[in-house]
Amino acid sequence: MTPATLPTLGTPASAGAANGPAPPPPYPTTTRPYRPGLAERLYLPLIGGLMVTMRHFLRNLFRPGSRYTIEYPEKRRDYSHRFRGHHILTTRPDGSVRCVACFLCAQACPAECIHIEAAEHPDVNIEKYPVVYEIDMLRCVFCGYCVDACPEEAIIMSNNYDMAYFNRDQTVVGKADLMKPYTFDEERLGYRPRYPEEEVARAKMRREAFSLVDAARQAQAAAPRPPAAGPPS
């Protein structure tokens, strides 16, 4: 660093002299540490501490339900229906993707992890659909902004939090995987738009939003069954 030349840089001494000594601060200039009493110096309060640990020990021993530990993966934590987990691309009743490739989710995403390539939809009423819809799960911060932004309820989130991949290529999740519900359990859907009129509109929305479940069931039913292994006996 080059030595800088500044005119009249004040020194502490000259500045202090202009105004006399500084007034004493209204808060302590020394510390007053805690002074242990005789009982503490004789380690007596430790008995109380030992009783605390003993109480916890016995309670955990005889009432295992009071433990906070969860035996994952045998047991899973119960999350609310607002949990922001793995994304799901919802489908129309015919099984096609609901997304109209409006790019609002990609625009709203703070992590810039959504990549969409749009194409013309054969149905003129729908106009566009995504040919490519990819979410980079390593970039995603699971803020739920894409769900907030979506005007079609085409992207929602699930309760799925245990995402693990074997290599980095798998972390970019494509359209096919996002459309595949990892579970048929409706209770494991996560963050998605909510409505104040819980009774009326929400029930309707549930039917529509969960059509992905129906679609997946239909798709499974329609899939050609594999031929039986051996001749029927």
Neighbours of 159 (CB within 10 A): 23
Neighbours of 171 (CB within 10 A): 16
Q: Does 231 bind another protein (CB under 8 A)?
A: no
Q: Does 19 bind another protein (CB under 8 A)?
A: yes
The three-class DSSP label of residue 210 is: coil
Site size toward another protein (CB under 8 A) is 69
Q: Which amino acid is at 47?
A: I
Q: Does 4 bind another protein (CB under 8 A)?
A: yes
- Give 173's DSSP letter: E
Residue 14: CB minimum distance to another protein, A:
7
Q: Does 151 bind another protein (CB under 8 A)?
A: yes
Is the separation of the CB atoms in 157 and 144 below 8 Å?
Answer: yes
Q: Does 32 bind another protein (CB under 8 A)?
A: yes
One character per residue 159-198, x = contact with another protein (rule: CB under 8 A): -------------------------------xx-xxxxx-
Stretch that binds another protein, among 76-84, 171-179, 180-188, 218-226 (CB under 8 A): 76-84
CA atoms of 221 and 68, how far apart (whole Å): 41
CA atoms of 220 and 122, how far apart (whole Å): 25
Torsion sign across C-alpha atoms 94, 95, 101, 102:
positive
Torsion of CA 23, 28, 30, 35, to 10 degrees: 160
Residue 7: CB minimum distance to another protein, A:
6
Q: How many residues appear in the chain?
A: 233
- Give 87's DSSP letter: E
Q: Does 72 bind another protein (CB under 8 A)?
A: no
Residues 6+ apart with CB under 8 A from 209: 90, 153, 156, 189, 192
- Using CB under 8 A, pick the residue from 58, 76, 93, 110 that binds another protein: 110
Stretch that binds another protein, among 45-53, 89-97, 128-136, 171-179 (CB under 8 A): 45-53
The three-class DSSP label of residue 188 is: helix
Q: Does 101 bind another protein (CB under 8 A)?
A: no
User: Is 165 or 195 the residue whose CB approaches another protein more closely?
Assistant: 195
**Which residues contribute to the site for another protein (CB under 8 A)?**
1, 3-4, 6-12, 14-16, 18-19, 21-23, 25-34, 36, 39-41, 43, 45-46, 48-49, 52-53, 56, 68, 79-80, 82-84, 104, 107-108, 110-111, 141-145, 148-149, 151, 153, 157, 190-191, 193-197, 201
